């Protein structure tokens, strides 16, 4: 960073704006969001600035501009529109050791004004060090959509009650108390406009000495990490990672995803390599339950979607048998991510109206399931974990009258920085995969449109070897 982001206190301090036209008015609108003493330095003021002075929102100084004028000010904006005069004023402000921003002259700026999302007292500032202000405004728009307009009021309520919480809630329970306020019933009530109800909930909990709890246990959230790229996580998934006390993850979860977790969350790697599980499933189940029984918020982070070939049913049964509250947070599954990366929809209007997800290995004996029952016109067939079984899968497709020349796309590390795409055919896919050296989990997606027979339909077979 070439500029360090920070907030400057304005209470009881002067902010000067040198200029009396539109540029000065733009800065005045910004500073009026604060409680600073706004001083307008100019011989003449336009109508908007004159109205501010008349209403008592700003002072007008029309005398000589000297360095002493800027002594002790929090900051100064120079916005006269005359480059030469602006440079001269910059020298005076600098001599007074006052931070200065000269409009449209970045080389003369100690300060730059960010794009601001205002939910007072919650303020989000977005800066690009002057390199891309349009990008800054785009990011501002996205954040504006994420934060409800009345969010600042809830933060203000929390600020007024912070001392009381420190006096009534034991230190060990304060994080849970504030998490409950900002993520549970009070936040939900406040967001829908029931602000009195939210305040009552907070005060009742404070009187009881802590956040309400329906169970002495903690909770487990089974969170889909998606195919790899962290910007494919849902907002809810990111929220659960930020709330987690402990996170169980395996080798298929990209390291970038873990960067979204709370810094002080405990992270437990459970291994899980295909064919050689460092942690057997029953050991994972027991460890997750044990952490939740300690009253901790547990995240079981699974690649793709936790409910698709992620052994979620086993982990859910273990948690529910122990009386642990559970939540499932869906994620982008590998079939969807692979199709998106390849630019191929999984269904097409008038061509495919059925999507089948199946595994290439039977859980019980490791055998390849009979794929023929799925091969019908109008179907997209997505086969997970197929790299090591590609030869038998190819034989089954050919036996079901799928054209040997049907195109195949082999995609590795879907959505990740090292994503790779290899093209081949149904008859050649096993040899191509072997030559590429690609190993691990795979998805084979075969599209069988309504409009053609199986032997001549020109199927598209997509291999996702990433998430």
Q: How far, in Å, CA of 349 to CA of 372, rounded?
A: 24
Preceding peptide of 121 cis, ω within 30°: yes
Where does residue 306 rank: exposed (0-12), middle (13-18), buried (19+ CB within 10 A)? Answer: buried
Q: How far, in Å, CA of 288 to CA of 214, rounded?
A: 19
302 annotated active-site: no
Task: Report the Cα 307 to chain-centroid distance in Å.
Answer: 21
Task: Report the Cα 32 to chain-centroid distance in Å.
Answer: 32
Q: For residues 202-224, b (16+ Cβ closer than 10 Å) or e, as one string?
A: beebbeeebbeeeeebbbbbbbb
Residue 131's Cβ-side half-sphere holds a number of Cα atoms within 13 Å equal to 6
Place of tokens 């057997």: 280
* DSSP symbol at 128: -
Long-range contacts (CB closer than 8 Å, 24 or more residues apart) made by 270-273: none
Q: Count the Cβ atoms, other than its own, within 10 Å of residue 182.
A: 15
All residues at 6 or more sequence positions from 375 whose CB lies less than 8 Å from its CB, including other chains: 381, 397, 400, 402, 446, 448, 454
Q: Count the Cβ atoms, other than its own, within 10 Å of residue 105.
A: 13
272 annotated active-site: yes
- Decide: 426 and 459 in contact? Cβ < 8 Å: yes
CA end-to-end distance (rounded Å), the chain: 33
From 86, 176, 245, 250, active-site residue: 250
From 27, 176, 245, 272, active-site residue: 272
SS (H, E, C) 159-206: HHHHHHHHHHCCHHHHHHHHHHHHHCHHHHHHHCCCHHHHHHHHHHHH
Q: How far, in Å, CA of 213 to CA of 52, rounded?
A: 51
Spatial strand order of the sheet with 354-359 comes to 354-359, 379-384, 443-448, 461-464, 407-412, 420-425
Cα–Cα distances in Å, from 223 out to 212, 272, 304, 310?
24, 17, 9, 11
Which residues belong to the active site? Answer: 250, 272
């Amino acid at each position: 960073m070439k500029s360090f982001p920070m907030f400057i206190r304005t209470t009881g301090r002067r902010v000067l704006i040198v200029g009396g036209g539109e540029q000065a008015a733009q800065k005045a609108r910004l500073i009026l969001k604060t409680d600073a003493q706004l001083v307008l330095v100019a011989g003449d003021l336009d109508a908007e600035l004159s109205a501010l002075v008349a209403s008592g929102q700003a002072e007008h100084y029309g005398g000589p501009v000297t360095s002493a004028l800027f002594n002790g000010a929090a900051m100064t904006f120079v916005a006269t529109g005359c480059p030469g005069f602006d440079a001269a004023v910059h020298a005076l402000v600098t001599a007074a050791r006052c931070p200065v921003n000269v409009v449209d002259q970045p080389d003369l700026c100690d300060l730059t004004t960010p794009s601001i999302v205002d939910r007072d007292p919650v303020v989000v500032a977005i800066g690009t060090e002057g390199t891309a202000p349009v990008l800054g405004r785009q990011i501002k728009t996205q954040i504006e959509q994420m934060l409800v307009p009345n969010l600042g009021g809830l933060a203000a309520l929390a600020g007024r009650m912070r001392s009381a919480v420190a006096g009534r809630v034991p230190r060990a329970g304060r994080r849970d108390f504030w998490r409950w306020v900002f993520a549970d019933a009070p936040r939900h009530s406040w967001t829908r406009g029931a602000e009195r109800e939210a305040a009552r909930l907070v005060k009742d909990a404070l009187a009881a000495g802590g956040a309400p709890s329906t169970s002495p246990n903690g909770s487990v959230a089974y969170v889909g990490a998606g195919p790899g790229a962290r910007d494919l996580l849902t907002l809810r998934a990111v929220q659960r990672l930020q709330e987690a006390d402990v996170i169980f993850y395996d080798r298929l979860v990209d390291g970038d995803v873990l960067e979204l977790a709370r810094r002080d969350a405990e992270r437990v790697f459970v291994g899980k390599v295909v064919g050689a599980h460092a942690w057997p499933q029953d050991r994972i189940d027991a460890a997750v339950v044990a952490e939740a029984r300690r009253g901790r918020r547990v995240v079981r982070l699974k690649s793709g979607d936790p409910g698709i070939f992620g052994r979620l049913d086993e982990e859910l049964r273990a948690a529910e048998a122990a009386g642990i509250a559970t939540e499932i947070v869906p994620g982008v599954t590998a079939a969807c991510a692979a199709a998106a990366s390849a630019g191929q929809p999984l269904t097409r209007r008038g061509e495919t109206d059925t999507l089948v997800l199946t595994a290439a290995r039977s859980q019980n004996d490791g055998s390849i399931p009979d794929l023929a029952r799925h091969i019908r016109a109008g179907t997209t067939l997505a086969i997970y974990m197929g790299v090591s079984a590609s030869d038998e899968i190819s034989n089954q497709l050919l036996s079901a009258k799928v054209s040997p020349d049907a195109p195949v796309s082999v995609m590795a590390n879907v959505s990740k920085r090292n994503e790779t795409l290899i093209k081949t055919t149904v008859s050649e896919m096993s040899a191509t995969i072997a030559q590429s050296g690609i190993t691990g989990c795979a998805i084979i997606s075969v599209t069988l449109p309504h409009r053609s027979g199986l032997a001549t339909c020109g199927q598209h077979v997509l291999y996702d070897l990433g998430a």
